[in-house]
Structures are given as structure tokens and as C-alpha cells.
Amino acid sequence: MTAPLKHSDLVTVDVALGDRAYDIVIGRDVLPSLGARIAALRPGARAAIVTDRNVAKHWLEKALASLSRAGVEASHIIVEEGEGSKTYAGLERVSEALISAKIERNDLVIALGGGVVGDLAGFAAAILRRGVDFVQVPTSLLAQVDSSVGGKTGINSPQGKNLLGAFHQPVLVIADTAVLDTLSPRQFRAGYAEVAKYGLLGDEAFFTWLESNYADIFAGGPAREHAIATSCRAKAAIVARDERETGERALLNLGHTFGHALEAATGFSDRLFHGEGVAIGMVLAAELSAELGMIGQSDARRVKTHLAEVGLPTHLQDIAGFAQEGLADADALMTLMAQDKKVRRGRLTFILLGAIGRAVIAPDVEPSLVRDFLKAKLRRTK
């Protein structure tokens, strides 16, 4: 790994998508540059900020001030926090508000918030007037390293996570690492799961570096910018090669087949944050990989040990209210996994590990094997 960045370093990561390429600007205190960057990118455009109540308390005024200084006329829409806003009703409310704000085809939607706001605002932008540009200003670690990059937008169905959506690339991403200082420890840990994912799926050296440097990332030291930039570069490279997930982009779903089912089983509630579901899902994926003989048991233990060390849940039994609504039922979890977007003609596809730092797409994993695996994990005590 290269030496960690200094706080003063500004990093720009290019997402190379031809005439739809865009920059991810990463660094401390880059939010004040939002207005100037938008004015330069889309002269004369108006903007509507979509944010949630908690983020608005901290960052909405600063974002509006930046836009005002640059002469960008802006309005704002505030939604409720959490996955409950990623619904048909939430999409309708944001879409109607954007229409009322007279956002036109040559204007911009700005997603100021975490993954929920980014997915919701991005999907609304994708369908408003058949598509208007949008800018991502991610305010959570998870959003900065994952959901704000790559153009996946969408809402949840009662039947599963992110089953309704569109690929709609942003025209700019502003990742101000200083805004992460306002996150709760639990929110930051949940985002860290996605950082660890990039090491596990394609960069063993990065995972090793994380094992030694995670404390500085959590403390807000220069390792934080380094981890975010490395994660963004990894995702940008995969997105550039496979924008619409017809091949290797599926590797980014390491831990998500299990994780999304667990989120659905807990009602997309605060009982299980997305990153927490991914953490448990990555442990399960590593352990299933070991059971299939793809990696050694020591590698599976290494995955679990690191995630547990940073305070993430690693067992199904770590989920609040574990015995409730289907979490202790392997068949119910299998039914939820059958709604996964990687399912093809009813056959499950998992992202598993061939090594630490090398994820593989495993189509047609035998359902009975997965069911027995889950039953064994459900019988396990902590």
C-alpha cells in the first residue's frame, strides 16, 4: 500500500465512462466548493437539494450558502431518516416536490445525505422529466465509499431491497470527509464494512493495511482519506469496466445476498443497518466459501476476527430481536434471498471468496447446501 494521505491532500478519482465520466472529489472541508463546482459544470442551472432531517441540521445551511455564493439558485426537500423513506410513498413525495420546484431537464438534483437519500434522490432524478442530472454529496462513510459511486439508484419493495430503480450516473460526487465527524460510532462502523469489502473482494494488501490502520480511520486521522480514496478507486475501476452489472460488477455484492435478506427480515429498520447486514453477510460468505473448500478455515476466521475487532456484528445472533420475524428460520431466509437481483431463472448466485482479496461469482449454488449451512449457523450460540 502507498503511504497514507495527509489531511491537506485533495484527491480526485475519475469514473471513466466516456461522455458520462465524472469526478469524485475527496478531502476534508470540500463541501464549501460545491457551488463553484456546480456553476462551472452546469452554468445557469438551478438546483434542488434532497436531504434528511438529521443531515439538514448539520449541513444543509452550509450547502445552500455555497450554492448562493456561486450564484446557483436552489431549493430544498427534507425527508425522514432511514430506509422508511425508500418507498413508493417516499419516491412520490420527492418527485412531486421536484416538479413543484420547477426542476427542468437542464437543472440539477443534489443528494445531500447517506445511502438512503442518494438512492432516493438519484432515482427521482432518473425518472423526473425522463432524466435530469444529479450530484451526490454523501454524508456517511458507507455512501462515500459505495452507494454514491456507480449510478445505482432505487427504492425498496416490501418484498426486497432495492428491487425498483435505475442506473443513473451522477455528474459529480463531493465526498467531504469532515462531515463524517458527526456520525454516531454505530453509523461509522456500518460504513466501514463496505471499506473492508473492497479489500476482501480484490485487494489483499489493502485488507492487511486495514487490519493495522483501522483505529486511525475511526479516529479521523489521515488514514481515513486514504481508505476512502482507495475504496473509491476500486469501485470506479469496476464500474468503468461493467457499468450495468453484466459481469464483474456483481463482485461488489460480496456479503449482500445474505445481508439484504437479513435487512428484509428486520423490516429495513434500525435493528440492522445496511453495513451491519453486509458485515454478517461477508462472514457468512467467507464461512460458506470455507465449507465449499474454496478458502481455508483460517481465512474465514480472519474475516470474522477483523470485523468483530472493529465492533461490527458477525453472527446472526448479534441482530437485535434475533428470534423474531424469520431470522431464526432458514427457509424464510432462503425465500428472501430468492428475491436477490442476482437470481437467474430462480437459481441463486453468490459472491464467494477464492482467497482473501479475490472474490468470485458462484452461480447455481445448491439451495439445499445453503439451507443446511444456514440451519447450522442458526443453531450456533455465541
Residues taking part in catalysis: 130, 152, 194, 235, 245, 249, 253, 256, 260, 274
Strands of the sheet with 22-27, listed across from one edge: 11-15, 22-27, 172-176, 133-138, 108-113, 47-52, 74-79
Helix (H, G, I), strand (E, B) or coil at 347: strand
Best CA proximity match to 103, nearest among 42, 186, 167, 193: 42
Greatest alpha-carbon span in the chain: 61
Radius of gyration of the chain (CA): 20
Q: How far apart are CA 55 and CA 85, in angstroms?
A: 14
What is residue 136's three-state secondary structure?
strand
Q: What is the DSSP code string of 27-81?
A: ETT-GGGHHHHHHHHSTT--EEEEEEHHHIIIIIHHHHHHHHHTT--EEEEEE-S
Alpha helices (H) along 294-382: 297-309, 330-337, 367-379
